């Protein structure tokens, strides 16, 4: 099995990412931590608890920090809805929130593990940044960070900044400069990781309560994408499953291609705060700190997602 910790801000695509992880027993999920981003901490922790309970998984879920390092919190309620999950309701959780705060739970999980752990991060990196600042001794226990965030070209929160980095650029900066290997699934690859409305209809036809909830959430996501400038301009009847890429890469890296390069974060800037500066062309001469993905086998990726929804419908 592959030991992982998942740090997230659920979020429609975050729970789709959890679905993919839950459907693969070869992933040993040691801990789930939440942070604000798509919604407030109050709501993201609630969503992690309800969703994981609904999926009948018994995993420790710990509450992370309440706000970004310095910036005022900006949430994506227009994209993910008032409850953060496209206003699709799940029953009250049966799992209790952990009595360990996220940073402590992450630290203890990492330090007590005999093997290195992969950190899957699908939110603004506030928790991971704080962890590395407070407990740098955990670094050697992290095999790599599979991270959804950033973009080489074009943003979704501003013309150049991707949402997760935009929300907490200072946290991202700490993580990017930590020396830990990072695989970045930025918009360059996640915009190619989409499902179409026809595929969503097919999924709904699985006929389970879960498949119907998944398709409701994705329909909401398509609709909200049309109302906001959050998604790629030509996305009329399809929707990107950003956060799934970070889980999919851990399971099946052969579905992706990327290049090693240096990535920096713009912390300030009238127009550019939260922009990732991806030096594909090696112009800065700075050492490579990341593998930046740009290509995905969409067909296999969608198959993998379908399989996960089917699998979790049966359980
Ligand atoms: C990222 O922003 C969030 O809205 C999604 O969950 C994803 O993590 C995409 O930019
Ligand atoms: Ca997310």
Residue 157 confidence (pLDDT): 93
Give the distance (Å) from ligand 1 centre to CA of residue 232: 13
Q: Long-range contacts made by residues 153-158, C-beta under 8 angstroms, separation at least 24?
A: 153/187, 153/188, 154/187, 155/187, 155/274, 155/275, 156/187, 156/229, 156/230, 156/231, 156/232, 157/74, 157/230, 157/274, 158/271, 158/272, 158/273, 158/274, 158/275
**Residue 279: pLDDT band with limits 50, 70, 90:** very high
Is the pLDDT score of 162 beyond 90?
A: yes
Q: How would you class 227 by CB atoms within 10 Å of its CB: exposed for 0-12, middle for 13-18, buried for 19 or more?
A: exposed
User: How many angstroms from the chain centroid is the CA of residue 23?
Assistant: 17
Is the pLDDT score of 295 beyond 70?
A: yes
Is the pLDDT score of 315 beyond 70?
A: no
Give the distance (Å) from ligand 1 centre to CA of residue 243: 7
**Residue 228: pLDDT band with limits 50, 70, 90:** confident
User: Mind listing the pLDDT tens digit for each residue in 190-227?
Assistant: 999 999 999 999 999 999 999 999 999 999 999 888 77
From 161, 163, 189, 225, mutation site for ligand 1 pocket: most ligand atoms within 8 A of C-beta = 163
Active-site residue list: 242
Give the distance (Å) from ligand 2 centre to CA of residue 285: 31
Residue 108 confidence (pLDDT): 98
Give the distance (Å) from ligand 2 centre to CA of residue 231: 14
User: Mind listing the pLDDT tens digit for each residue in 17-65?
Assistant: 999 999 999 999 999 999 999 999 999 999 999 999 999 999 999 999 9
Q: Identify the residues whose C-beta falls under 6 Å from ligand 1.
A: 11, 13-14, 38, 76, 79, 122, 148, 156, 162-164, 242-243
Supply the residue whose CA is at minimum distance from atom 4 of ligand 1. Answer: 38
Residue 314 confidence (pLDDT): 84
User: Mind listing the pLDDT tens digit for each residue in 128-160?
Assistant: 999 999 999 999 999 999 999 999 999 999 999
ipTM for the whole complex? 0.99
Residue 225 confidence (pLDDT): 82
Give the mean pLDDT of the chain: 96
Supply the residue whose CA is at minimum distance from atom 10 of ligand 1. Answer: 163
From 38, 75, 172, 231, mutation site for ligand 1 pocket: most ligand atoms within 8 A of C-beta = 38
pTM above 0.95, yes or no: yes
Atom of ligand 1 nearest to the CA of 14: 6
From 152, 164, 244, mutation site for ligand 1 pocket: most ligand atoms within 8 A of C-beta = 164
DSSP per-residue codes, 217-277: HHHHHHHHHHHSS-S-TT-SSEEE-HHHHHHHHHH-GGGEEEEEEEEEE----TTTTTBEE
Is the pLDDT score of 97 beyond 80?
A: yes
* Structural tokens at position 271: 């127009």
Is the pLDDT score of 184 beyond 80?
A: yes
């Amino acid at each position: 099995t592959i030991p992982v910790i998942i740090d997230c801000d659920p979020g429609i695509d975050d729970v789709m990412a959890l679905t993919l992880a839950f459907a693969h027993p070869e992933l040993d999920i040691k801990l789930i931590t939440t942070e604000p981003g798509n919604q407030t901490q109050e709501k993201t922790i609630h969503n992690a608890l309800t969703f994981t309970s609904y999926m009948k998984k018994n995993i420790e879920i710990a509450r992370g920090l309440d706000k970004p390092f310095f910036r005022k919190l900006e949430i994506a309620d227009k994209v993910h809805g008032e409850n953060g999950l496209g206003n699709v309701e799940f029953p009250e959780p049966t799992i209790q929130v952990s009595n360990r705060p996220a940073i402590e739970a992450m630290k203890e999980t990492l330090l007590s593990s005999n093997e290195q752990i992969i950190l899957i991060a699908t939110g603004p990196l506030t928790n991971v940044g704080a962890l590395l600042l407070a407990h740098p001794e955990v670094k050697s226990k992290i095999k790599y960070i599979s991270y959804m965030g950033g973009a080489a070209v074009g943003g979704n929160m501003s013309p150049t900044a991707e949402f997760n980095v935009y929300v907490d650029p200072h946290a991202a900066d700490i993580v990017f400069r930590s020396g830990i290997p990072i695989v970045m699934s930025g918009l360059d690859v996640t915009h190619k990781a989409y499902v179409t409305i026809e595929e969503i209809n097919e999924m709904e036809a699985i006929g389970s309560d879960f498949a119907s909830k998944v398709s409701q959430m994705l329909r909401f996501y398509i609709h909200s994408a049309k109302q906001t400038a959050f998604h790629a301009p030509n996305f009329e009847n399809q929707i990107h499953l950003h956060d799934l890429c970070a889980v999919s890469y851990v399971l099946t890296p052969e579905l992706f291609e990327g290049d090693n390069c240096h990535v920096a974060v713009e912390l300030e800037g009238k127009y550019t705060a939260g922009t990732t500066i991806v030096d594909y062309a090696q112009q800065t001469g700075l050492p490579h700190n990341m593998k930046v993905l740009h290509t995905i086998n969409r067909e296999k990726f969608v198959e993998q997602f379908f399989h996960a929804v089917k699998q979790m419908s049966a359980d």
